[in-house]
């Protein structure tokens, strides 16, 4: 099996305010005959740019309407490892980790905003996973976990969000108005 590859370094990939900058990356056709594409990359940049990039990609809508309403800002970094067998895409393997370091997240056109968001969001194949993400919401601390659990039907999974936190009654009442 023949292979070919390309390696990216920060100095060879242009960056802009609207797109995360690539720290390193490698794209390799591990087997040209079978069309097996392997990607290993890391990037960093502003969360707003990263969200905009994903929301405008074919993946955006797959993450649902709520994801498409997310806005954010602050520093973020991502690492991606992809195995994409072009002839057998059902066998693809996707592992993307996005680190948030004091970012701000909001749902557009609502008063819902989380500040000082810290933690890692991981996409593993078709699952979104978060364990121990912390933030400030409605003036108090909150912890969020996200997992995929069997649901809906044969072979289908539901994305389940669990959170706990504290806030004052006036802040909660204002958020519910």
The pLDDT, as a whole number, for residue 14 is 45
Signed CA dihedral, 108, 112, 116, 120: sign only:
negative
pTM of structure: 0.75
With a cut of 70, list the residues of the chain below it in pLDDT: 1-24, 30-32, 152-156
Q: If DSSP codes are grouped into helix, strand and coil, which group holds residue 168?
A: coil
The pLDDT, as a whole number, for residue 88 is 83
Is residue 122 within 8 A of residue 130, CB to CB? The reply is yes
Q: Which residues does 35 contact at the CB level (< 8 Å), separation at least 6? A: 29, 85, 86, 87
> Cβ atoms within 10 A of the Cβ of 20, count?
21
Radius of gyration for the alpha carbons in the chain, expressed in angstroms and rounded: 19
The pLDDT, as a whole number, for residue 18 is 52
The pLDDT, as a whole number, for residue 23 is 65
Q: Which residues does 71 contact at the CB level (< 8 Å), separation at least 6? A: 48, 51, 105, 106, 107, 108
Q: If DSSP codes are grouped into helix, strand and coil, which group holds residue 52?
A: helix
The pLDDT, as a whole number, for residue 13 is 43
Cα angle 109-110-116, degrees, rounded to a multiple of 5: 110
Angstrom distance (rounded) from CA 126 to CA 94 = 8
**How would you label 129-138 residue by residue, b for 16+ Cβ within 10 Å and e otherwise?**
ebeebbbbbb
Angstrom distance (rounded) from CA 46 to CA 121 = 15
The pLDDT, as a whole number, for residue 120 is 95
The pLDDT, as a whole number, for residue 22 is 65
């Amino acid at each position: 099996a023949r292979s070919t590859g390309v390696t990216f370094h920060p100095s060879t990939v242009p960056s802009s305010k609207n797109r995360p900058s690539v720290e390193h990356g490698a794209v390799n056709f591990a087997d040209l005959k079978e069309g097996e594409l392997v990607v290993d990359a890391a990037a960093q940049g502003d969360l707003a740019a990263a969200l905009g990039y994903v929301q405008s990609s074919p993946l955006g809508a797959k993450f649902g309407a709520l994801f498409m309403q997310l806005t954010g800002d602050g520093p973020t970094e991502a690492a991606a490892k992809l195995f994409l067998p072009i002839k057998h895409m059902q066998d693809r393997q996707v592992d993307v980790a996005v680190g948030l370091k004091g970012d701000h997240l909001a749902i557009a056109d609502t008063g819902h905003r989380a500040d000082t968001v810290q933690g890692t969001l991981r996409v593993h194949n078709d699952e979104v996973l978060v364990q121990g993400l912390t933030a400030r919401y409605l003036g108090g601390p909150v912890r969020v976990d996200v997992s995929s659990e069997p649901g809906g039907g044969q072979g289908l999974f539901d994305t389940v969000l669990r959170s706990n936190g504290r806030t004052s009654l006036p802040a909660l009442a204002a958020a519910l108005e």
